[in-house]
Structure 1
Amino acid sequence: MATVALAVTDGMLHFELSVAHEVFGSAPAAVTVPWYDLSVCGPGTVPFGRFHLEPEHGLNRLQDADTVIVPGWADVDVDPPAELIDAVRAAHDAGARVASLCTGAFVLAAAGLLNGKRATTHWAHTDVLASRHPEVEVDPDVLYVDNGSVLTSAGKAAALDLCLHLVRLDHGSSIANAVARRLVVPPHRSGGQAQFVTAPVPAQDDQPLTALFPWIIERLDQPLTVEDLARQARMSSRHLGRHFRAATGTTPLQWLLAQRIRHAQELLEKTDDSIDAVAAATGMGTATTLRRHFNRTLGVPPDTYRRTFRSRTRQSTHRAQSPVTLALADSS
């Protein structure tokens, strides 16, 4: 069972803390894999709006966690507490994966974890982060950035995107989608290494394309064109493009490609189908085409993705059965 620790102090943003607690605190009913062992770590009683939060452990326990989440920092004009900075740095040095939500990036930057790395934060504070920490490559245009052991997200909704991204890395797309369904949010908006921002199916019933999205999803194995989509939506291709941009923030073909890649991920995770079969099932046509788009979007070829995912799953299962890991989880 992987351990996740939330680093909380006076001055944190409550929304981001709640998002992380909701995602990692309990698994959806249909999920049977070992879930995260979540703990809240802080320097003592923490003001929480009109309430007070009593962390289970001190900040020194962060270094026992597999993943450390740093919620947003409310006042970016004030330096984060030195004890928080030191604890986050120590956790990373001990091997933890550290992720900041929203302006939590200021904590990671102060700890030196973002030096020489690409990072993001809430768009309203990217200029401040860049000027205060010139050694950080601040990208204001993405939802989140994944540097492996260090991850950062933009504000509010993007914090949820990053949390779902972490679940996807640990457990795969199907389980991440199950978490998203429980939260009634879109299952996948990628925006890190590949800088490929894909907007999911809108929830509004009165959206002009509401009926079109599920129609597309059911036909991902077919060679759909913009003209096919426009015909199904009973509008011109130009009109379709305008509605797509308004609803998803991208073009019809970019959105369609994102859904094909998402479906390919699920097939690679859950089946032993050949790459040729996966290419056919996702409408890519050939293994060469699938490999090109998959590698460009996710940064790895599909063969490597499958091996990495299954290796990570085996490691997760081993950790869940390890008495040493369980002892750490019980004490953190």
Structure 2
Amino acid sequence: MVVTEDIEVPSWDLYELSIPVTVFGKPQPDLADPWYDLRLCGTGDRSSDSTGSAGAAPGFGLRTPYGLEDLVGADTVIVPSVPDPCVEEGVPLTPRLIGALRRAHEAGARMVALCTGAFALAEAGLLDGRRATAHWMHTVQLRYPKVRVDDSVLYVDDGDVLTSAGMTAGLDLCLHLVRRDLGAHVANQLARRMVVPAHRPGGQAQFIDLSVPGTDDEGLAPVLEWAQARLDQPLTIEDLARRAAVSPRTFYRRLRQATGTTPLRWLLNQRLGRAQSLLESTDLPVERIAQLSGLGTANNLRHHFLKHIGVAPTDYRRAFPQQPQAGLPH
């Protein structure tokens, strides 16, 4: 079962909805017979002629004979997304949806959320005490007290409850479900037909913007800009504090208050961000990129990439087409 919060689907949510429809909705008798029996379940009244609620965002209207009461009895329930206001403004999800998800889980259904669908599972209490993920741009809002949020992975398999990051990570999770249910050979063949990798290395950490948000502290901003222009040079907390004309302890406190991170972590994030940019936009050797980003050696660069981004620099470079930039050093 794939359940949508509203049968009127905004065009920007269609991708997450189309993924399970593509993976599970088209029979593949030469790979496995029977295949999955996919049913799209809406939250609206099935007897109504309307395909959406008043004021719904413009998109595509979908008609389905299945409603929330059909979730009970499903082997797997997938929530592809929830409306943006439920994520960004904290607008509550409909009690009917939350109740239906709880009943489906109690009846033994495997619960799956793609991207912001995790908010529905969290609201239903199905992520309590579990590790879960969502798109890295939304994990800050996914701060339910009992949920262990991990924004570094493409998906989390916690047995009977699974969650994925956004966009194409939903496809990674759906192929993982096929692999669990029907075996690696079937999942690999299906991935080949969809012209996608059967398994992607690393996690969504490689797509996160590591640069720290700007600060309103007018005294710190020039210092941080000064440091960003000198990432290829050795920099210490003392150097930054001296530039700000404050003690190292005061600088540490002010930067932590303004950005939520420590000076050393701020510097490391800037260096990694610089290395990411060079890997994306140049064909410079990894050794040279390590020098220009201030990470010293290729081994040190690889160490930090694997630890904080989840992939090796060479794998990261292959994931991004080069977009040359003028004025880059050689």
Asked if these proteins are the same fold (TM beyond 0.5), I'd say yes
Change (3 A) 1:21 1:190: farther
- The structure number with the bigger radius of gyration is 2
| Bigger relative contact order, structure 1 or 2 (CA pairs below 8 A, ≥6 apart) | 1
Distance (Å, rounded) in 1 between the aligned partners of 2:178 and 2:201? 13
- Runs of 4+ in structure 1 displaced over 4 angstroms? none
TM-score where L is the length of structure 2: 0.56
Report the Cα offset of residue 121 of structure 1. 0.4
Distance (Å, rounded) in 1 between the aligned partners of 2:313 and 2:2? 41
Deviations 1:257-289 (A, max 9, x none): xxxxxxxxxxxxxxxxxxxxxxxxxxxxxxxxx
Deviations 1:210-259 (A, max 9, x none): xxxxxxxxxxxxxxxxxxxxxxxxxxxxxxx753441159xxxxxxxxxx
Deviations 1:135-162 (A, max 9, x none): 1000010000011110000000100100
Q: How do 1:58-207 and structure 2 match up within 5 A?
A: 58-75=67-84, 76=87, 77=89, 78-130=91-143, 133-189=144-200
What is the count of residue pairs matched by the alignment? Answer: 200
Change (3 A) 1:84 1:242: closer
Distance (Å, rounded) in 2 between the aligned partners of 1:84 and 1:104? 12
Distance (Å, rounded) in 2 between the aligned partners of 1:179 and 1:102? 22
Report the Cα offset of residue 63 of structure 1. 1.1
Distance (Å, rounded) in 1 between the aligned partners of 2:80 and 2:178? 17
Change (3 A) 1:178 1:136: same
Are 1:9 and 2:5 an aligned pair?
yes
Counterpart residue number, 1:56: 65
**AA partner of residue 142 (structure 1):** V
Counterpart residue number, 2:19: 19
Distance (Å, rounded) in 2 between the aligned partners of 1:118 and 1:32? 31
Change (3 A) 1:244 1:51: closer
RMSD between aligned alpha carbons? 2.7
Residue pair 2:151, 2:205 contacting (<8 A) in 1 also = no
Residue pair 1:120, 1:126 contacting (<8 A) in 2 also = yes
Change (3 A) 1:115 1:177: same
Counterpart residue number, 1:247: 318
Residue pair 2:110, 2:160 contacting (<8 A) in 1 also = yes
Residue pair 2:71, 2:77 contacting (<8 A) in 1 also = yes
Counterpart residue number, 1:310: none
Report the Cα offset of residue 68 of structure 1. 0.3
Counterpart residue number, 1:36: 36
Structure 1, gaps ≥5 residues long: 198-207, 209-240, 250-332
Q: Which SS does the other structure have where 2:142 is aligned?
A: helix
Q: Which SS does the other structure have where 2:141 is aligned?
A: helix
Q: Which SS does the other structure have where 1:134 is aligned?
A: coil
Report % sequence identity: 52
Distance (Å, rounded) in 2 between the aligned partners of 1:61 and 1:102? 23
**AA partner of residue 145 (structure 2):** P
**AA partner of residue 70 (structure 2):** R
Residue pair 1:145, 1:191 contacting (<8 A) in 2 also = no
**AA partner of residue 53 (structure 1):** L
Report the Cα offset of residue 92 of structure 1. 0.4
Distance (Å, rounded) in 1 between the aligned partners of 2:120 and 2:63? 21
Change (3 A) 1:137 1:61: same
Report the Cα offset of residue 9 of structure 1. 2.3
Deviations 1:45-74 (A, max 9, x none): 346844311122110111110000001113
Q: Which SS does the other structure have where 2:140 is aligned?
A: helix
Q: Which SS does the other structure have where 2:38 is aligned?
A: strand
Q: Which SS does the other structure have where 1:100 is aligned?
A: strand
**AA partner of residue 246 (structure 1):** R
Q: Which SS does the other structure have where 1:140 is aligned?
A: coil
